[in-house]
Amino acid sequence: MDDGNLILTGFMGSGKSSVGVKLSYRLKIPVEDTDKLIERGEGMSISDIFEKKGEAYFRQKETELLRGLAEKRQGRRIYSVGGGTPVDPVNRALLKRLGTVVWLRIRPETAYQRLRDDTTRPLLQCADPLKRIGELIGARREAYESCADLIVDVDDLEMEEILRRIERGIGHGIGNKK
Ligand code: S3P
């Protein structure tokens, strides 16, 4: 149900969670992070879910959660979703139903710089994370694009400018939408 929700998508490291928190403060709309909701529901970290139950299980939880969010009216929200969420066409349709989708687009090199020491992203725990990031972004580009209402290239932008572009792009802040 689109209650004037805003959804932040983009590759790992694109800043979805931190942008979500800042926007929430500015627009006075609560923010929710779908990865955190899944972690809470499962009682374990994303890394543990991947390790103990597998990626397919995690993807199933992502879709279930999105479906639940899209079906219930809980008032206007900002949602930051996991970097792989838009890959599944069912999820893309659910995201579109849920609200206005913003793609925080990031170049592989920038994502790598931000994530090189990160240990919480199971998909990047490999010998050559830069190569993996390039492959994943390449494979996901169309999926991100096809569900995005607004694209912001985050690589060279300060947080303030990212927030401004989103606010401008969604038309004076979804907080004003009745
Ligand atoms: C993933 C991104 C992660 C998390 C999981 C898988 C992905 O979320 O959902 O590790 O497939 O890109 P963030 O984008 O918030 O890091």
Intra-chain end-to-end CA distance of the chain, in Å: 14
| Paired residues of 151 in beta bridges | 103
The answer, yes or no, to whether any atom of ligand 1 lies below 6 A from the CB of 86, is no
Instruction: Write down the pLDDT at residue 173.
Output: 46
Phi and psi at residue 33, to the nearest 5°: -110, 120
Ligand 1 atom closest to 14 (CA): 14
| Alpha-carbon span 149 to 102, nearest angstrom | 6
Cα 46 to middle of ligand 1, angstroms: 8
Q: Cβ(84) to ligand 1 under 6 A?
A: yes
Q: How far is the CA of 123 from the centre of ligand 1 (A)?
A: 8
**Distance from CA of residue 134 to its chain's centroid?**
18
- The bridge status of strand 78-80 relative to strand 99-105 is unpaired
**pLDDT of the chain along its 178 residues, tens only?**
567 899 999 999 999 999 999 999 999 999 999 999 999 999 999 999 999 999 999 999 999 999 999 998 789 999 999 999 999 999 999 999 999 999 999 999 999 999 999 999 999 999 999 999 999 999 999 999 999 999 999 999 999 999 999 999 987 544 443 3
pLDDT score at 155: 98
